């Protein structure tokens, strides 16, 4: 049995599991690099930060701190994913584009992502300097992929449980949740290629919590290798999510340890890009995984070595 993710040409891939380099903006990420994508919300009602980065200057400052703390990508969002007051297209553009333009002027080599499902917002964002369109709602606006193709930007293809934007799941049922994820993101990625999105700019995201119960999100996590073996770079958005909170019975403010555990497991299983609120902590967890895998040397390696050994090392 095949699915739309099986069309990866041999000369397009490298590294384990047929993984290829990922090219976003001025950066090229090799298959072995584990990448932090910092979350910056220009919303007054985010489930995590509750509006602490709602102001434009505050959002830019938070993005720059995240870059300095080890993030390679900054993901800017202007609409809360869950229920909340409606946000018009014009308001979302006002919230997002100013931050993108300012950050681009301050950090010309940073990779800037915009978290939106709306083509109108995406079009203004790439014009202001965004490199990646992170569509969390499964191609709800079919014109968004065309914006990515025309602009030459990257695109995140996400499984959202076949729900419209900002819809909470209600007893979602799948014969096999991972099979549904594979078929869905596979179709989105194949369509993106057909429209003209760069092959080396496409990522797939299983969409933890989106259209899923906690048990289903845990199942997706343990079966991440099935997504990895498709050859597409896998992005995971695990940070402080409800499936972590319910698994450990913890409120949002107490989910960091669970987030780091899930992050380390996902990295070991082959995920490559990690959306994170707690950038420095996630960066350290990923560095530890990379060093255990043998992809990153220890920052310091002097334990058990004498002075002569240190000088000759």
Which residues of the chain are modeled with pLDDT < 50?
Answer: 1-13
CB proximity list for 266: less than 8 A, separation 6 or greater: 221, 224, 236, 238, 274
What was the pLDDT predicted at 52?
A: 83
Helices within the chain (DSSP H only): 56-68, 89-106, 119-128, 143-151, 177-195, 214-222, 224-228, 242-248, 256-268, 279-293, 307-312
Q: 3: closest CA among 226, 270, 272?
A: 226
pTM: predicted TM-score of the whole model, two decimal places: 0.92
Kindly list the catalytic residues.
241, 275
Query: What structural domains does the chain harbor?
Result: 34-312 (3.20.20.20)
Tokens for 257, please give them. 């340890």
Q: 97: closest CA among 81, 80, 117, 120?
A: 120
Helix axes 143-151, 119-128, angle to 10 degrees: 20
Q: Residue 230: in which H helix or E strand, if any?
A: none
For 66-97, the pLDDT digits (tens) are 999 999 999 999 999 888 899 999 999 999 99
- Kindly report the number of other CB atoms within 10 A of residue 236's CB atom: 27
């Amino acid at each position: 049995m095949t699915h739309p993710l099986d069309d990866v040409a041999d000369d397009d891939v490298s590294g384990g599991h047929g993984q290829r380099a990922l090219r976003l903006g001025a950066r090229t990420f090799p298959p072995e690099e584990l990448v932090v994508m910092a979350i910056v919300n220009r919303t007054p009602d985010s489930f995590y930060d509750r509006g602490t980065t709602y102001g434009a200057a505050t959002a830019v400052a938070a993005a720059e701190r995240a870059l300095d703390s080890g993030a390679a990508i900054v993901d800017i969002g202007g609409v809360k994913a869950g229920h909340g007051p409606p946000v018009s297209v014009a308001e979302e553009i006002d919230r997002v584009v100013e931050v993108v333009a300012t950050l681009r002027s301050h950090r010309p080599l940073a990779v800037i992502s915009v978290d939106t499902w709306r083509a109108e917002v995406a079009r203004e964002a790439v014009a202001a300097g965004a490199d990646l369109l992170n569509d969390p709602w499964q191609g709800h606006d079919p014109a968004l992929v065309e914006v990515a193709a025309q602009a030459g930007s990257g695109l995140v293809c996400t499984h959202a449980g076949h729900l419209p934007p900002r819809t909470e799941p209600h007893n979602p049922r799948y014969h096999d949740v991972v099979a549904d994820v594979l078929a869905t993101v596979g179709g989105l990625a194949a369509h993106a290629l057909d429209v003209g999105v760069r092959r080396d700019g496409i990522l797939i995201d299983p969409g933890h919590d989106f259209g899923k119960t906690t048990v289903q999100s845990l199942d997706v996590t343990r079966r991440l290798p099935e997504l990895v073996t498709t050859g597409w770079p896998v992005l995971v958005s695990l940070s402080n999510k409800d499936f972590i909170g319910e698994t450990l019975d913890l409120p949002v403010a107490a989910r960091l340890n669970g987030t780091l555990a899930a992050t380390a497991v996902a990295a070991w299983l082959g995920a490559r890009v990690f959306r994170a609120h707690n950038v420095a902590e996630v960066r350290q967890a990923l560095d530890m995984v990379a060093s255990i895998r043998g992809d990153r040397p220890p920052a310091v390696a002097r334990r058990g070595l004498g002075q002569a050994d240190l000088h000759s090392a």
